Amino acid sequence: MNNVTPGFNHVIPPSIMTRDTVDTRIGRLKFFDGLPSDATVQTLYDNLDFVRAVQVFLDFVPASSMEAMRRGNKAMGVTAPHKVLIFDNPMDSSPLFLTGNTDTVYLSGILDVATEGPIVVEVPPKCGPGTVNDAFFRFVIDMGGPGPDRGQGGKYLVVPDDYDGEIPDGYFVGRTPSSSNWLILRGLLVDGRPDAAAASFREGVKIYPLAKADNPPAMEFITVSGEPFNTIHANDYAFFTEVAEVIAREPVGLLDHELRGLAASIGIRKGHPFAPDARMTAILSDAAAVGSATARAMVFKTRDAEAYLYEGSAWKAAFIGGDYQWLRDGGVGGRNLDARTSYFYLATVNTPAMALEMIGLGSQYAFITVDSNGDYLDGSKQYRLSIPADVPAKDFWSVVIYDPQTRSELQTTQPYPSKNNQRDPLAVNPDGSVDLVFGPTPPADHESNWTETVPGKGWFAIFRLYGPLQPWFDKTWRPGEVEPVK
């Protein structure tokens, strides 16, 4: 029998051919001898633009999130290095801030090295964890306890990557590829109170351009405790306008060729206006909806087995894989893209100190989104969480609950939706364990351990340890699961 394909002298493998009709998830595609019809061409390009736009959403969450942070700071008055936001009290549920904590005093500023040149940051002794991140939320340098000053205080200098000017002696230097950089300092509570940390920041933090070192401007501390403001990126079409502003403003070197090319494929290109037509605007709006939904799936119902801290447990790690760059096998396995998207959709601040094993320094985190039955946490129901005795935290521990919509502190009649073992008068069981309770109404017992939830709303929780000790890292100690209470 002759197996030669009609019209050819030799057999053509079927695997390299395209049929005249192909049924796919985007519909039926039609061809004439491998040539796509006009209608099929339009369908394919619409799909390509959609797929790439979804990928832009997932890959550019760090950039969009940092842009929202920059805008939120600017809206509250941070328009120069010496102007910073300060929470004299721990952050309550008023601001929209990705998984902010109720346990530290925050100081937040924006360092624009394109406008100001190299910028000096002086931190006082005993400063809590501090970090500078670039415009793609990548690590630049740590300060305070986890930083090179090791809590002794010191002077830091943040300079552009390509800066070749003189750097005076006595500075810890951080190089950044971006113009805009976020500075966040966290002051630890003393005896459960914020006063000492806030005073230390006001008296000891100084930020100014290196060019003005001889006559630095006086610091302006903008008090935002209890103030509502937004620092969270958009989940709709506006997401792409945030990305476009970042690419327009920041140096080309902020992103590699692949990321720049991905953004350019949907019309976001440096030196060109971002002006999608009606067709593309509709595609981008749809892609933002699918992209944000996908990011939510990654956060709240991850399929990554490496995310789970313990076998048979719902507790998950924020830094999946234990690497602040989300590199697998030291980079041999590439970057875990889903883990990076998941982290930045949920949280802010990128530092090795949150991923590395640093006994007694920095902080560690675990979060939980479902109960012991695998069901989402429901604000209409009552739950109990057991915290066993001897929590491996040198400083203190806390549990804060959050709104799954905003990923910010849950807004209830309690300004602080949390419990902190140093700040709150918790009831302790005879064996040293603590039972935390969650629900819309306080229980008859353990009311001091109750955190309020909202009927009709979901919630999730983050467990934090400040100054984590060895039993946390070797997993000989672990928190209980969130158990429904009948």
Position 3 scores a pLDDT of 54
Q: What is the pLDDT along the chain (486 residues), one digit of tens a residue?
A: 445 566 668 888 999 999 999 999 999 999 999 999 999 999 999 999 999 999 999 999 999 999 999 999 999 999 999 999 999 999 999 999 999 999 999 999 999 999 999 999 999 998 989 999 999 999 999 999 889 999 999 999 999 999 999 999 999 999 999 999 999 999 988 888 899 999 999 999 999 999 999 999 999 999 999 999 999 999 999 999 999 999 999 999 999 999 999 999 999 999 999 999 999 999 999 999 999 999 999 999 999 999 999 999 999 998 898 889 999 988 899 999 999 999 999 999 999 988 888 888 878 999 999 999 999 999 999 999 999 999 999 999 999 999 999 999 999 999 999 999 999 999 999 999 999 999 999 998 879 999 999 999 999 999 999 989 999 999 999 999 999 998
DSSP-assigned beta bridge partners for residue 366: 463
- The pair of structure tokens assigned to 117 is 């040149």
Using DSSP bridges, classify how beta strands 383-387 and 119-123 pair: parallel, antiparallel or unpaired: unpaired
The per-residue DSSP string of 64-131 comes to: HHHHHHHHHHHHTT--STTEEEE-SS---SSSB-TT--SSEEEEEEEEEHHHH-SEEEEE-TT---EE
Alpha carbon distances (Å) from 221 to 36, 88, 137, 188, 253: 62, 10, 24, 18, 32
Task: Please name the residue that has the structure tokens 């690497």.
Answer: 323
Size of the chain in residues: 486
As a three-state string, the secondary structure of 140-177 is: EEEECCCCCCCCCCEEEEEEECCCCCCCCCCEEEEEEC
What token pair was written down for 266?
A: 């949907």
Q: CB of 306 within 8 A of CB of 327? A: no
> Running DSSP on this structure, what letter comes out for residue 354?
G
Cβ atoms of 389 and 432 closer than 8 Å: yes
CB burial string 273-285: b at 16+ within 10 A, e below: ebebeeebeebbb
CA distances from 338 to 294, 406, 453 (A): 10, 20, 30
CA dist 451 and 466 (Å) reads: 21
Q: What CA–CA distance (Å, rounded) separates 123 from 119?
A: 13
Rounded Cα distance, 207 and 197, in Å: 17
User: Residue 221, exposed/middle/buried by CB under 10 A (0-12, 13-18, 19+)?
Assistant: middle
Burial class (CB in 10 A: 0-12, 13-18, 19+), 312: exposed
Task: Read off the tokens for 178.
Answer: 């971006």
**Inter-residue contact 334 to 328 (CB < 8 Å):** yes
The DSSP code sequence of 247-302 is HHHS-GGGS-HHHHHHHHTTT--TTS-----HHHHHHHHHHHHHHHHHHHHHHHS-
Return the number of other C-beta atoms located less than 10 Å from residue 36's C-beta: 16
H and E: helices and strands count for the chain? 9, 21
pLDDT tens figures, 331-370: 899 999 999 999 999 999 999 988 888 888 878 999 999 9
**Per-residue pLDDT, 444:** 87
The token pair that represents 39 in the structure block: 């209608």
Output the pLDDT for position 1. Answer: 42
Q: How far is CA 137 from CA 245, 258, 406, in A?
A: 15, 18, 19
pLDDT of residue 4: 55
Please write the tens of the pLDDT for every residue from 109-142.
Answer: 999 999 999 999 999 998 989 999 999 999 999 9
